[in-house]
Amino acid sequence: MTFFLLLGGLVALLYLGMPMFAALFLLPLGVLFWTEGAVPALGEMVVGKLDGYLLVAIPLFMLMAHIMVRGRVVDDLYNAAFALLRRVRGGVGIATVAACTIFAAISGSSVATALTIGKIAIPQMLRYGMSRRGAFGVVAGGGTLGILIPPSAPMVL
């Protein structure tokens, strides 16, 4: 029943000429205020989302990436990957997606994977001649692997 009311409200708002983004924003907001008891729960849901272990781990992954960049470990890894994949078109991008896959298996987080590998890989891909759009696209695509690959506890340990 609620689904049909929301769908009918969405169709009515769109028929009246309201932009899609405004209709999709205002309709659930109106339902929140219309039903009693849902508004106090909204603040609790926001605080509950901020209380996750993932938000603690992301700065630590960034610190790890910074240490790897400053320690020149990344240069050696990308030099080895470039030597192996030099003849393959987009070899540095392939190496970056492989790094995203390994890191995503460890962390299980798309955000942490994109941040950490992005900080490491984007300067290296630009150094080897990849365009900025291509470098950011490879990291964005590889970063989504964190959702698909479950975290592995033995790899973390």
76-113, pLDDT tens digit by residue? 888 888 788 888 888 889 989 988 888 887 777 788 88
CA distances from residue 133 to 61, 71, 129, 154 in whole angstroms, order as listed = 24, 27, 12, 35
CA distance 65 to 100: 13
In the structure encoding, which two tokens stand for residue 90, read together? 């987009």
Identify which of 104, 130, 134 has the alpha carbon closest to the alpha carbon of residue 116. 104
CA distances from residue 155 to 104, 106, 107, 150 in whole angstroms, order as listed = 11, 6, 9, 11
Q: Is 70 helix (H, G, I), strand (E, B) or coil?
A: helix
Higher-confidence residue: 132 or 66? 132
Q: For residues 27 and 6, is the Cβ–Cβ distance under 8 A?
A: yes
* pLDDT higher than 90, residue 7: no
* pLDDT higher than 60, residue 14: yes
Quote the pTM value. 0.56
pLDDT value at position 17? 92
User: What is the rounded average pLDDT for all residues in the chain?
Assistant: 81
Sorted by sequence, the CB contacts under 8 Å of residue 65 that are 6+ apart come out as: 115, 116, 117, 119, 120
CA distance 65 to 47: 28
DSSP 8-state class, residue 52: -
